[in-house]
Amino acid sequence: MSRLRSLAAVVVVALVVVVAAPAPTVAETTLRVVMHSDLKIVDPIWTTAYIVRNHGYMIYDTLFAMDAKGDIKPQMVDKYEVSKDQLTYTITLRDGLLWHDGKPVTTDDCVASIKRWAAKDSMGQKLMTFVKDIQIVNPKTFKIVLNEPTGLVLGALGKPSSNVPFMMPKRVAETDPNTQISDFTGSGPFVFRKDEWKPGDKAVYVKFDKYKPRPEPPSALAGGKVVKVDRVEWKWIPDHQTAMNALIAGEVDYLEAPPHDLLPIAKADANVKLVDVNPLGNQYTFRFNALARPFDNAKVRQAVFYTFNQEDFLKAVVGDPAYYKVCKSFFPCGSPLSSPKGMEGLLESNFEKSKALLKEANYDGTPIVLMHSTDLAVLTNLAPVAKSLLEKGGFKVDMISMDWQTLVARRAKKDAPMAGGWHAFLTSWVAADILNPVMMGFMNASCDKAMFGWPCDKEIESLRDQFARETNPAKQKAIAEAVQVRETQYPTHVPLGQWYLPSPVRKNVDGIIQAPVPVFWNVTKK
């Protein structure tokens, strides 16, 4: 019996010691954020996924970056000069730039990073068609020599969204672009804690003490990246309601992208505020498969422009007019190239005009195979609205429901629509990805080389090339308008309006920067 008592005493003491043991040391200020997705992949060049791009902005830096006005500003770059003939860009890095392992950032690293990025990114590939040579002058200066002038250099190197030209150490940047990197050394304001990264649970970043911010105040993705918290944890909570509950209970500080229908709960809580993080917002889009009959006929695609109206889509998905805007422009309203040119009379649900065009095009009633994504709240209601409007405009529609990943796989197929292919689907673009005709993936009309949908139009391609060559902003705008007008004659896709999603944040969190990408420098937590 006494043995049993002793054993019980030992167990009790052990339990007390375990319970009373101090919690593991935590950094002084930890910002806990629920991002829109789990971080599974960590190579922002290997994939274009937005969560990986956001991870890139945490740990890497860029040569140039876009500010709040949409202008491209130097970031890692101290100064740059353009030769009089506009054929040579001489770029000099700032002093004191260090990798997370303490080694200095050199032009060797930057050139290797540009090459790896340009091998994957469509804008990078376009830029490289103008590049004759990249010459390293010394560890801090390099030259980009062009074979003809182009306005793309700064725009591409300061591209805000996927794929972003992030700078990596040479040893990492020399990895094959189709192989995922496994060394996560960057020179950005945060260091990735690989040992604490638990896919499906959390990703952890700590402040990089040796990071040298620019002296200017922060402005979108440009300016001084001053980190004001010790640690940022991206907590993955897949259930939106649970994430909102965790925010209200103070277990997390910031939700990046809750569905619109949960925003009233956040609004009603005294400790939570809504922050407009991305003022440019997002754009809904209807994408055609230009290879599949009847959408191989531009007139039939034009009919879609007449049968749709943006308000119906925006109401069905977003609901609250405070979070959407009708924007009859291919380029996001509020961005420099936005224009109504060519859009007069379109997107007004003129069903009679749509039917007349279909008759003119000899539409034979072939059902439109419309792919309906059912698992992403921001997309789910789009396809049923499209189906209803298309039918009113004289189309026959076969709407097929599937999860987004199935849709992603199916849209890559060129098979006949009734044999596993497709005619159309709806998606959403972050405005920062569609700011000009070169950047906008759906405007690429280079036939087989174009994105799924494979539009094929020499005129659009010629205008996109002109845009890439032009260095004068006013002339660039005129070309962008010309592309837009051509898009109404040879539609590659239909813009369906802009929508916005404020982020619910605890009131003790301040300094959140408005940018096309959620970033965490300048953020304070009291």
Partner 1 sequence: MLPYVGRRLIATIPVMAVVAIVVFMLLRLTTGDPAAIIAGDNATSQDVAAIRERLGLDRPLVEQFVIWLGRLLRGDFGESFFFKKQVSELILERVEPTLALATCTIVLTVALAIPLGILAAWRRGTWLDRIVMGFSVLGFSVPVFVIGYLLIYLFAIELAWLPVQGYQRLRDGLGGFVERLILPSVTLAVVFVALIARITRASVLEVLNADYVRTARAKGLSELPVMVRHVLRNAAVPIVTVIGVGIAVLIGGVVVTESVYSIPGLGRLTVDAVLARDYPTVQAVILVFSVVYVLINLLVDLSYTFLDPRIRY
284 lies in the site for partner 1, by CB under 8 A: no
Cβ neighbour number for residue 169 with a 10 Å cutoff: 21
441 lies in the site for partner 1, by CB under 8 A: yes
Q: Which helix (H) or strand (E) holds 271?
A: none
39 contacts 236 by C-beta, under 8 angstroms: yes
Alpha-carbon distance of 401 to 389, in angstroms, equals: 17
Least Å from the CB of residue 178 to partner 1: 4
**Radius of gyration (C-alpha) of the chain in whole angstroms:** 25
255 contacts 273 by C-beta, under 8 angstroms: no
Q: Is 86 helix (H, G, I), strand (E, B) or coil?
A: coil
210 lies in the site for partner 1, by CB under 8 A: no
Show the tokens assigned to 373. Answer: 């994504």
106 contacts 139 by C-beta, under 8 angstroms: yes
Q: Which residues in the 227-246 window bind partner 1 by CB under 8 A?
A: 235-239, 241-243, 245-246
346 lies in the site for partner 1, by CB under 8 A: no
26 lies in the site for partner 1, by CB under 8 A: no
271 lies in the site for partner 1, by CB under 8 A: no
Task: Please identify which residue in 55, 73, 100, 120 interacts with partner 1, judged by CB under 8 A.
Answer: 120
- Which of residues 95 and 195 has its CB atom nearest to partner 1 in the complex? 195
Burial 346-377 (b: 16+ CB within 10 A, else e): bbbbbbebbbebbeebebeebebbbbbbeeee
Least Å from the CB of residue 382 to partner 1: 15
- Cα atoms in the 13 Å half-sphere on the side-chain side of 105: 33
419 lies in the site for partner 1, by CB under 8 A: no
Alpha-carbon distance of 228 to 486, in angstroms, equals: 48
412 lies in the site for partner 1, by CB under 8 A: yes
Cβ neighbour number for residue 28 with a 10 Å cutoff: 8
Local structure of residue 235 (DSSP, 8 states)? E
Task: Please identify which residue in 427, 436, 476, 522 interacts with partner 1, judged by CB under 8 A.
Answer: 427
Binding mask 51-70 for partner 1 (x = CB under 8 A): -x------------------
Least Å from the CB of residue 405 to partner 1: 5
368-373 vs 397-402, strand pairing mode: parallel
- Which of residues 18 and 270 has its CB atom nearest to partner 1 in the complex? 18
Cβ neighbour number for residue 39 with a 10 Å cutoff: 21
Number of residues located near partner 1, criterion CB under 8 A = 55
451 lies in the site for partner 1, by CB under 8 A: yes
Least Å from the CB of residue 511 to partner 1: 26
Alpha-carbon distance of 141 to 77, in angstroms, equals: 9
Binding mask 159-198 for partner 1 (x = CB under 8 A): ---xx--------------xxx-x---------------x
How far separated are the first and last CA of the chain, in Å rounded? 55
Task: Please identify which residue in 199, 217, 321, 345 interacts with partner 1, judged by CB under 8 A.
Answer: 199
Least Å from the CB of residue 47 to partner 1: 4
- Which of residues 165 and 393 has its CB atom nearest to partner 1 in the complex? 165
Task: Please identify which residue in 134, 248, 300, 370 interacts with partner 1, judged by CB under 8 A.
Answer: 248
Strand partners, 33: 234, 254
Q: Is 379 helix (H, G, I), strand (E, B) or coil?
A: helix
Task: Please identify which residue in 1, 3, 24, 268 interacts with partner 1, judged by CB under 8 A.
Answer: 24
365 lies in the site for partner 1, by CB under 8 A: no
Alpha-carbon distance of 478 to 467, in angstroms, equals: 9
The number of helix segments (H) and strand segments (E) in the chain equals 16, 21
Contact residues for partner 1 (CB under 8 A)?
15, 18-19, 21, 23-24, 38, 40-42, 46-50, 52, 120, 122, 162-163, 178-180, 182, 198-201, 235-239, 241-243, 245-246, 248-249, 251, 402-403, 405-406, 408-410, 412, 427, 433, 441, 449, 451-452
